[in-house]
Amino acid sequence: MDIYRYDESFRKGGYHRIAGLDEAGRGPLAGPVVASAVVLPSGKRIKGLRDSKKVPEKERESLFMDVLCCCIDVGVGIVDAGTIDRINILNATKLAMQRAVEDLSGEADLLLIDALQLPSMDNKQVSLIKGESKSASIAAASIIAKVVRDGIMRQYDGVYPEYGFGKHKGYSTREHMEKIILHGPCPIHRKSFEKVLSLELPFGEEK
């Protein structure tokens, strides 16, 4: 599938500042949820751009720089674990996306959002299931959000080295769950998440 074709169809319809939105970190047991909004230029392609989950880490970091160099505008929104516990992960994800849109230097006339709607935003919106595989701007946002969040988790690895956040990034791997059992949850764990509360198997891997 040509992921640029979807965005171009909206440009032909009169939308010029199209912001793709995606998030990273809905599933982990620790750390923030991070969202990004990216506005790409018309007619320019980024080699290898695709869903961040399908991109190896080193290539993601290269694509991250390519997106930053190519894009017209980029915004990032971050919601911490405490807020996730207070308002739940779905609302926290929407809040992170809203903050990412608000972080743009200019207003977007269309938001292409991976699988969600943002009722709090007045912008024209289109929700697209598996949008990171269908829209270039959403794919670009997925790269930005993922690399930013991974960087945050590596920083937390230095603060809480006993949990191995630099390796698993807070996802519910067996190693991570064993560390929670051994040490108990730390301040960045999402204490409202059932796996953190119950410490029950089975263990999941990163999605």
Fold of 3-149: Nucleotidyltransferase; domain 5 (3.30.420)
- Among 75, 66, 70, which Cα is nearest to 42's? 70
CA distances from 101 to 18, 64, 71, 92 (A): 11, 18, 14, 14
pLDDT of residue 203: 41
Other CB atoms within 10 A of residue 165 CB: 27
- Among 135, 150, 119, which Cα is nearest to 51's? 135
Band (pLDDT 50/70/90 cuts) for residue 30 is very high
Q: Give the separation between CA 204 and CA 101, rounded to whole angstroms.
A: 31
pLDDT tens track for 8-19: 999 999 999 999
Q: In the chain, where are the structural domains located? A: 3-149
pLDDT tens track for 89-98: 999 999 999 9
